[in-house]
Amino acid sequence: MFFPPNNLFSRGTSEQGDGNTDFFPSINVSPGAATRSVLSVNKRFLPQVPVKIKNIFRTNRHYDKEERKSCIRENASGRNKKTMGKAKILAVTACPVGIAHTYMAAENLQKAGEALGVDIKVETQGSIGVENPLTEKDIAEADGIIIAADKEVPKERFAGKRVLITGVQDGIKRPEELIKQVLEGDVPIYRPQTAAADADQKSVRKENPVYRHLMSGVSYMVPFIVVGGLLIALSLSLGGEQTPKGIVIPDDSFWKHIERLGAASFMFMVPILAGFIAVSIADRPGLVPGMIGGYIAANGSFYGSEAGAGFIGGIIAGFLAGYVALAIKRIKVPKAVQPVMPIIFIPIISSLIVGLLLIFVIGAPVAKLFEFLTDWLATMEGGSSIVLAMILGAMIAFDMGGPLNKVAFLFGAAMIGEGNYSIMGPIAVAICIPPIGMGLATFINKRKYSQEEWEAGKAAFTMGLFGITEGAIPFAARDPLRVIPSIIVGSMAGSVIAMIGNVGDRVAHGGPIVAVLGAVDNVFMFFVAAIIGSFVTAFMVNLLKKDVEDGNGKAAKREKKEKSAADEDQKPSDSAETPENFKLADLTNMNLIEPELKGSTRDEIIHEMIEMLDKEGILSSKEEFKKAIFNREKEGSTGLGMAIAIPHGKSAGVKRPAVAFGLKRDGVNWNSIDGNDAKLIFMLAVPERAAGNAHLKILQMLSRKLMDETFRSRLLNVQSKEEAYRLLGEIQ
| Residue closest to 216 by CA, chosen among 312, 315, 285 | 315
CB 416 within 8 A of CB 508: yes
Name the residue type at position 82. K
136 burial type by CB count under 10 A (0-12 exposed, 13-18 middle, 19+ buried): exposed
Alpha carbons 298 and 310: distance in angstroms, whole number: 5
CB 454 within 8 A of CB 441: no
For this structure, is 95 an active site residue?
yes
Alpha carbons 667 and 643: distance in angstroms, whole number: 8
Q: How many CB atoms lie within 10 A of CB 54?
A: 10
* Backbone angles phi and psi of 678, in degrees to 5: -90, 135
- Going by their DSSP bridges, the two strands 163-166 and 144-149 should be labelled as parallel
CB 677 within 8 A of CB 643: yes
**Which of these is catalytic: 213, 509, 648, 695?**
648
Q: Collapse the DSSP code of 602 into the 3-class scheme (helix H, G, I; strand E, B; otherwise coil) and give the result.
A: helix
Residue 371 CB contacts under 8 Å (≥ 6 apart), including other chains: 305, 307
Cα(first)–Cα(last) distance of the chain, in Å?
77
CB 64 within 8 A of CB 186: no
Name the residue type at position 383. G
Q: HEC states along 231-282? A: HHHHHHHHHCEEECCEEECCCCCHHHHHHHHHHHHHHCHHHHHHHHHHHHHH
Residue 689 CB contacts under 8 Å (≥ 6 apart), including other chains: 456, 474, 652
H helices of 334-423, in order, are 346-357, 363-379, 383-399, 403-417
530 burial type by CB count under 10 A (0-12 exposed, 13-18 middle, 19+ buried): buried
For this structure, is 432 an active site residue?
no
| Residue closest to 142 by CA, chosen among 80, 187, 99 | 187
CB 417 within 8 A of CB 310: yes
According to DSSP, the residues that pair with 660 across neighbouring strands are 683
According to DSSP, the residues that pair with 328 across neighbouring strands are none
CB 267 within 8 A of CB 310: no
Alpha carbons 163 and 148: distance in angstroms, whole number: 11
**Which of these is catalytic: 95, 213, 432, 695?**
95
Name the residue type at position 52. K
Residue 271 CB contacts under 8 Å (≥ 6 apart), including other chains: 290, 291, 292, 294, 295, 298, 314
CB 529 within 8 A of CB 515: no
Looking from the CA of 74 toward its CB, the CA atoms found within 13 Å total: 15
Name the residue type at position 6. N
State the DSSP H helix or E strand holding residue 687, giving kind and residue range, or none if neither: strand 678-687
- 276-285 as b/e, with b when 16 or more CB fall inside 10 Å? bbbbbbbbeb
Known catalytic residues are 95, 648
